[in-house]
Amino acid sequence: MDLELKHIHKRFGHVHANDDISLMVRGGSIVGVLGENGAGKSTLMKIVSGFQCADSGEIWVDGRRTSYRGPQAAIASGIGMLQQDPLDVPAFTVIENFVYGQPGGLLLGRRTAHERLSRLCQRFGFELNPDAPIAQLSIGQRQQLEIMRLLALGVKTLILDEPTTGISAEQKSMLFQALRELAKQDGMSVLLVSHKLEDVISLCDEVVVLRAGKVVGVLPMPATAKQIVSLMFGQELASQAQAPVALGEPKIRLENATLRGKRVTVENFNLDIRAGEVVGLAGLEGSGQELIIRACVGLTKLARGRVLVDGKEKTGKPYRDFLGCGVAFGAAGRLEEGLIGGLTLTEHVALTENTGQMLNWGEARQHTEAKLKHYNVRGLPESPVEALSGGNQQRLLMALLPRQPVLLALEQPTRGLDVDSAQWIWKQLLARRESGTAILFTSPELDELVAYSDRILVVYAGLVYEITDVGSTTIDELGRLIGGQFIVAAD
């Protein structure tokens, strides 16, 4: 299916999010849409998929001008989008979400629905329990479910916003192969919005680059990462050096900890993280690293063992007690756990900074303006948090963290950020580290783990393998360890 955009304009107040954008996506092609955070990518994709209306401009499908309002109408025109934060119904099970919006809807025969979902999952290599409630799914699994649902609805133009976040390398390989087959055999057009340059280089036929709401270039593939980055930012990015830091006393300690999750158990686990140390947690989703990081902040209770902060017993205490001792947590689910939908940016800052009963809204607004400027969050103090792009929500989460905590426990701290923004976030984190903050983080990006960790804990099916010599560890070696190679070697 051919998709053509002509002279698309969209403004939000004084911000010209999309400024006269025109582009053509031919059926059977896979096109990457790149740009720094706030470049206008998400706005453009929401217009194409019916989640927002353009102020002016035209959308043409297979040579015919089309006009639709709402995502259901867009899907009826053959265009569907996977959002960075999947849109599902928390009260529904997997199979109920899968059939939602399909002809017959919830009345569709259960056996038929199960067969459809099973066929699609087999094709993509995904494993989804049809009867599991959405609340039990990880972000990656929810993304997988939404891809399956859109394909079942028969979309011919598929928009993917950061689709490889939270899925394994093997699943990504199978997903990319399926997308290539859909494009080649079924004539599907695919728009891939991603900050992972290796994904774009591996998958796409061409790349469209946006900057400040405008199309600044179209690159046929193959192109190098250096060429793409130069077009995105107008220059090459300097590499970021990490200064050595003398480590201090242990700030967080798990002693003989047993952690039980829904699908995995981590037993007799010991961990010390010292002041100024950066420890990365690596593993396929559901392997147990989520249990470990949340146990360190009081969000996962220990079945056995102890947890101590600065030598003080915190076993069984809630997160509020950990926060009071200088432990701060940043969740991967931005709108699910990290931010509060419906509140403005000023209200978020006021919640994190106000310690008294009386609130000075003038001061809160000034503090918000300062944070937005420092962290380059593209939004206004009065903006509702859900109006921000995913990357700007991530920047806001970083802005809300304490200035100098004892421990920062962060799930995917650079999720959805472009290369420049990710480097800038790590510059802020490493500055805290140099002042004595201990950092524990998870990431699906293997190069991020290798670049910033002093130690890496690889978790596989509840078992933990420690890498102490990170500097001599390659990305390929880390990938094999994540796949459980250390268990095979031990056997």
What's the distance, CA 43 to chain centroid?
A: 17
312 Cβ partners below 8 Å, 6+ apart?
Answer: 325
Residue 4 has which token pair?
């053509």
Class of domain 237-326+403-491: alpha beta
In whole angstroms, what is the distance from residue 145 CA to residue 424 CA? Answer: 32
Please, are residues 442 and 412 in contact by the beta-carbon 8 Å criterion? yes
The mean pLDDT values, 10 residues at a time, for the chain of 491 residues are 94 88 94 88 92 94 90 91 81 89 67 88 84 82 85 90 72 82 88 88 93 91 86 66 82 96 91 96 87 96 96 94 93 85 93 76 92 89 88 88 92 84 88 94 89 94 93 87 70 46
Domain 3-233 matches domain 237-326+403-491 at the CATH topology level = yes
Residue 124: closest CA among 158, 83, 78, 73: 158
Give residue 168's pLDDT. 65
Q: Tell whether the torsion through CA atoms of 422, 423, 424 and 427 is positive or negative.
A: positive
Residue 185 has which token pair?
């055999």
What's the distance, CA 259 to chain centroid?
A: 25
Give residue 108's pLDDT. 62
In whole angstroms, what is the distance from residue 341 CA to residue 346 CA? Answer: 13
Residue 332: closest CA among 366, 294, 359: 294
Taking the domains of the chain in order of start, what are their residue ranges?
Answer: 3-233, 237-326+403-491, 341-401
Tell me the fold of 3-233: Rossmann fold (3.40.50)
Strand order in the sheet with 56-61: 15-25, 3-12, 56-61, 64-66
Residue 319's CB: how many other CB atoms inside 10 A? 14
Please, are residues 202 and 176 in contact by the beta-carbon 8 Å criterion? yes
Burial, 80: exposed, middle or buried (Cβ in 10 Å; 0-12, 13-18, 19+)? buried
- Block residue for tokens 């158990």: 265
Please, are residues 266 and 254 in contact by the beta-carbon 8 Å criterion? no
Containing 253, the helix (H) or strand (E) segment is strand 250-260
Strands 278-282 and 455-460: parallel
Indicate the DSSP class of residue 286. Answer: T
Residue 40's CB: how many other CB atoms inside 10 A? 26
Give residue 282's pLDDT. 92
Helix (H, G, I), strand (E, B) or coil at 108: coil
353 Cβ partners below 8 Å, 6+ apart?
Answer: 364, 367
Q: Tell whether the torsion through CA atoms of 138, 171, 451 and 422 is positive or negative.
A: negative
